[in-house]
Structure 1
Amino acid sequence: MMKNTDKRQRILIVDDAKLNRDILKEILGETYNYLEAENGNQAIQMTADNPGIDLMLLDINMPQMNGFEVLKLMKQSQCLDETPVIMISSEAAVDTNA
């Protein structure tokens, strides 16, 4: 039986555009183990199912639930207490007055 010996840090990429997720993985390279979510609900579920995520890259502009709403829910459920989050956006101008 093969044991999972993957010691790479885990990064959760949350972006509704697959192309953006693929670009981020290409930029960051094979040093990391990637988890992907295409919306806020998936992201919340993934953090619950995968404790110990080392970093989350969170898109600001997504349908249904934007990045700030995701952060608010995760903060309330305390599932992000130990996880650094970097907000990302492919938009030229982003209104951060959430």
Structure 2
Amino acid sequence: GTSCATPIFASTIALLNDQLICAGKSPMGFLNPFLYANPKALHDITSGTNPGCNTNGFSAGTGWDPVTGLGSPNFAALLIAALSSAAGL
């Protein structure tokens, strides 16, 4: 769950920041605007559910959903998007 995914995603952002700094750009700040502006840099997961605790849970869908969020990161696409963004993401 999140105890695995969160540190992995944080390390992904650290690697992106390293590349941004090497390119003479500012590191990323608040990520939400960047992530929502670059949906193709994420693999959108559009099917599946997370039932449990005697509930139907939530369903995955197009764009943000409570099961998968915005989706899983595509590092290569995130790097291209970050390097092509204006400074001060």
**If the length of structure 1 is used for normalisation, what is the TM-score?**
0.27
Greater percentage in strand: 1
Larger-Rg structure: 2
**If the length of structure 2 is used for normalisation, what is the TM-score?**
0.29
Greater percentage in helix: 2
Flag the structure with more relative contact order, 1 or 2, with Cα contacts below 8 A and sequence separation at least 6. Answer: 2
